[in-house]
Structure 1
């Protein structure tokens, strides 16, 4: 982590108002080096004068004049192809395997039409985040930030009545990031347990016919051991192996889905309004990689190539959208209303498909530690700073506390997964409750705040405001209706058991 402090300097530009350059954080990306908490969590200290400071008006044509992307540490950067692979990995996981179940809730044609729309909205919000980061860098010299810092800083230059809530807004983003990542951990553990259970039942017979909760308990030591990995270098090895297994698995799944397809008249063309929020929660879950975008851009050798109509982001998300749509469409068409929470559970009991289940189980098991890494270090770094553990306790004691916390958090995620031991019930809940906020609710608010002082035409401002309000309302609908429908579905399922 690098903190670029500009002290209390002022910048004068060709007769414009002076801009206060307060200390700002260029927070961590994928290589935070948090191992022992050796990197302090330096949040930007926004001056009290922020309520009255004047920001130079911007015009909508200034985007072409944006400066280079801040200071970069002298280390090896990622290429455009590597960044694309990271975006694909961040958006292709358990969500894509749940898309056939989502199409069951929406109907095959409704899903086919609306899924690309959700992909477009989520991708557009990713562009909003990267653009807002650049504008903040230009206007207040804050360097390159992460999601929560962009949210915090944008409020400081937005409408005056909400500026005092900037720090609270940044913390809210952090809270939803924690909920999302721990939700992913719960989904991943359920996925591994369900697929391993299916594999053992098909290969070993009824002697291994245990419940999902039993398999979660059996797998708990492995999840704990994976959570003990503190080196990103070792996590990268696990990620590479997981990518390899997932890629092979997806080819096998798609090979099965396109064979012996029934006519589309055998499935529902559209679902009910009552189940549509469940589909929406899963769809947003599948495209919720927005928290990765700024850290990935910060590590790029050519960060400006991420945006643009044919940039890395659009190319990556187009591939993600096509894959999700294909798996969802063909999966639901082939298995109809009997489709499971993960399409792998519907694969035949043949050796090729049995080992496909095992490959996916191993891949997601390895990916658990990667998803767990982010929320743990947010919590651990806050604890280190709040209680000043680096100064007060010795390194062995600090390590003991760290591993204890790692164990407790893993047990909590597994226990939460055991409360709702079905992946088709958990994914829509995570997507609606947290992913909708990060992907669709926060970005429009950020866009309005960053553009608040811009000098632009009335028609353009009306368009920007209308567009952002529409995306915001879609996100609010997904949050409220999706959460309600998911909780109601969980209650209904358990009441009938």
Structure 2
């Protein structure tokens, strides 16, 4: 395996194959890797698809979904490819997300090498806040789904949605004690099956009556496009799980290429999101909740099963998203803790992390707005801007004819920055509007 580094030294470690030196305690198969990638992206974001299409219009929504899917898949590709090239140069079997950022800068142009630690810190902070936000969203979605069912079938014990977050606190704490991706992959497969069942039930209700396109917008209000982009980016991105999954595979060489784990996962993600978003919008129009399951009737068994399935699917996905946070915590703390205290530290850290996420979810139970802010702010940085920067820095001496890599990554960075600024602005305005409506 050979690679040319950003400073043109192709001879560096050219015979080193990182795949041959990886020691994984519990490696995962291609199928489990695909399941983990799909599940890390699809969840509450998929079910928010129809609402996203209502912000953009059906034609702009369909085109935008495919475009964002292509960009997100490409950014994952260049991140993993850069990471592997850094492994060869640094003579290391694997690198995580932050280590890849640091290595890319260390092997980039000399004036930028002093920024290597800064790049690593930015990546770590972005990962932590992104996946803490995702866990908060999952808490809200589980609570909303269960509350709808209880309110319908047990009207004498109607409780605020915040109480349901507290009820699920202990089960989530227990589930998040699972420590290996191999076992989390089992939950991911189960969650994917449940989510696909919800998808089919939603299509059942969508096609249960005639769809009309005449009164639907082909292109929505451009002022709402940032909200659309934020939701789609949130749904498409699972980039924080990518490196742990690729580093844990039995055959990591199958992650990229054609066909590959990445291609299979992104194809499924784009197909499910675009179809549910398009047909959900054509069926329900602009009268949509943050999740399409909240629009389903509460007195019919297929809809009831869908609400149960989505709650269980998100519940089983929770520890996969939480894995990213606790993995970062472990890297910085476990080496400094005595062996006889490591077990209690693990249990305590995982429990406190879940309590924090549930607490934030209870304090801010606005599903649509939280999805948009996480998608606009954190996933724009992690999934779009950082991969574009590190490939450019690493390949600085090999940007291609007419420096096409530079211009391509500049467009991706500009797209991510636009999504970040506009998405956050629109979402903050929506939050202020909601608070004003509550006080009036």
TM-score scaled to structure 2, two decimals?
0.90
- Find the residue that maps to 1:264 and give its secondary structure: coil
Give 1:97's aligned residue: 47
Unpaired stretches in structure 1, ≥5 consecutive residues: 1-12, 20-53
Deviation at 1:146, TM superposition (A): 1.5
Unpaired stretches in structure 2, ≥5 consecutive residues: none
Give 1:254's aligned residue: 203
1:220-259 counterparts in 2 under 5 A?
Answer: 220-230=169-179, 235-259=184-208
Q: Any idea what the Cα deviations from partners look like across 1:224-257, whole Å, max 9, x if unmatched?
A: 3333445666645544443332232222222222
Deviation at 1:304, TM superposition (A): 2.8
Bigger Cα Rg? 1
CA contact (8 A) 1:66 1:134 kept: no
TM-score scaled to structure 1, two decimals?
0.80
Deviation at 1:108, TM superposition (A): 1.6
Larger RCO (alpha carbons 8 Å, 6+ apart): 2
Deviation at 1:115, TM superposition (A): 0.8
- Find the residue that maps to 1:444 and give its secondary structure: helix
> Which deviates the most, 400-409 or 229-238?
229-238
1:178-217 counterparts in 2 under 5 A?
Answer: 178-204=128-154, 206-217=155-166
- Find the residue that maps to 1:496 and give its secondary structure: helix
Q: Any idea what the Cα deviations from partners look like across 1:455-489, whole Å, max 9, x if unmatched?
A: 854x2x1x211111000000111111112221221
Query: Structure 1 residues 224 and 65, CA, compared in 2 at 3 Å: closer, same or farther?
Result: closer
1:477-492 counterparts in 2 under 5 A?
Answer: 477-492=418-433
Instruction: Determine which structure has the larger helix proportion and give its number.
Output: 2
CA contact (8 A) 1:239 1:367 kept: yes
- Using the alignment, how far apart are the partners of 2:247 and 2:63 within structure 1? 34
CA contact (8 A) 1:104 1:337 kept: yes
Deviation at 1:301, TM superposition (A): 3.9
**Residue number among 48, 51, 56 corresponding to 2:8 in the alignment:** 56
> Which deviates the most, 88-97 or 257-266?
257-266
Compute the RMSD of aligned alpha carbons. Answer: 2.8
Q: Any idea what the Cα deviations from partners look like across 1:376-396, whole Å, max 9, x if unmatched?
A: 2422442344xx3316xx43x
CA contact (8 A) 1:102 1:328 kept: yes
Q: Any idea what the Cα deviations from partners look like across 1:302-324, whole Å, max 9, x if unmatched?
A: 43332234433123211210110
- Using the alignment, how far apart are the partners of 1:496 and 1:389 within structure 2? 50
Query: Structure 1 residues 194 and 144, CA, compared in 2 at 3 Å: closer, same or farther?
Result: same
1:386-465 counterparts in 2 under 5 A?
Answer: 388-390=336-338, 394-395=340-341, 399-454=343-398, 456-457=400-401, 459=402, 461=403, 463-465=404-406
Give 1:334's aligned residue: 283
Query: Structure 1 residues 112 and 236, CA, compared in 2 at 3 Å: closer, same or farther?
Result: closer
Give 1:343's aligned residue: 292
Query: Structure 1 residues 333 and 373, CA, compared in 2 at 3 Å: closer, same or farther?
Result: same
- Number of aligned residues: 435
Q: Any idea what the Cα deviations from partners look like across 1:20-59, whole Å, max 9, x if unmatched?
A: xxxxxxxxxxxxxxxxxxxxxxxxxxxxxxxxxx943459
